[in-house]
Chain A
Amino acid sequence: KQEVTQIPAALSVPEGENLVLNCSFTDSAIYNLQWFRQDPGKGLTSLLLIQSSQREQTSGRLNASLDKSSGRSTLYIAASQPGDSATYLCAVPREDYKLSFGAGTTVTVRA
């Protein structure tokens, strides 16, 4: 059974600092890994999807890496801003078409 873990559960950084968010998964036979952002009480916004054949994916200040052999993905957010404050979730699809989500990392960027 695929287990997805995100550590830490919460992170607080001063504005301008780079953010490093971690996601671990137990079964390396994944199709892809998706990173989402969720603001309080809102829906999920898809940030990046990395296919299993890729090592990284970039979009603006966001960069996500994938190391299947070690069962890890890292989301880097450069030069953080207060607007980056949110909960970040990673998810991998399972054979039964469910998305296995991590519990999320709640980020606070202090102005």
Chain B
Amino acid sequence: DTEVTQTPKHLVMGMTNKKSLKCEQHMGHRAMYWYKQKAKKPPELMFVYSYEKLSINESVPSRFSPECPNSSLLNLHLHALQPEDSALYLCASSKDGTLQETQYFGPGTRLLVL
């Protein structure tokens, strides 16, 4: 099973709302990633968790807060977002987080901030 699942598929939120995105994988991978993708652009890395510890934060605004409760789950908590944060948010995982590995991506959550 090479599947990464993400919920919800679509999310509409106001600038004062708090919401969370969820990502799950059951491949035994120990590295998980959050990416943001704007229309017609390649994905941009936001966060990397390796063995449940945050290893990379790409200077993402604090209104995005990642959480890795266990090795299979990755959350992205959203608060006080701006309209420019509207994008496709992709989760990915890989075996150990080394540079030689394949990253497996989920289907994404389409976020619209009003």
| Residues of A in contact with B (beta carbons under 8 Å apart) | 31-32, 34, 36, 41-46, 49, 51, 89, 91, 93, 95-99, 101-104
Interface residues contributed by chain B, number (CB under 8 Å): 24
A49: chain B residues within 8 A (beta carbon): 102
The answer to whether the Cβ of B54 comes within 8 Å of any Cβ in the partner chain is no
A43: chain B residues within 8 A (beta carbon): 4, 6, 90, 105-108
Given A42-B107, A97-B56, CB of A51 within 8 Å of CB of B42: no
Can you give 21 contacting A-B residue pairs, CB < 8 Å?
A31-B100, A32-B100, A36-B105, A41-B108, A41-B110, A42-B107, A43-B106, A43-B107, A43-B108, A44-B43, A44-B90, A44-B105, A49-B102, A91-B42, A93-B99, A95-B99, A97-B56, A97-B97, A97-B99, A98-B45, A101-B42
Contact A102 B100, beta carbon cutoff 8 Å? no
Contact A89 B42, beta carbon cutoff 8 Å? yes
Q: Which of B85-103 contact A (CB under 8 A)?
A: 88, 90, 92, 97, 99-100, 102-103
Of B55, B58, B103, the residue contacting A46 (CB under 8 A) is B103
Q: How far is the CB of A76 from chain B (nearest CB, A)?
A: 20
Q: How far is the CB of B114 from chain A (nearest CB, A)?
A: 19
Give the docked Cα–Cα distance between A63 and B103 (Å): 19
Give the docked Cα–Cα distance between A98 and B33 (Å): 10
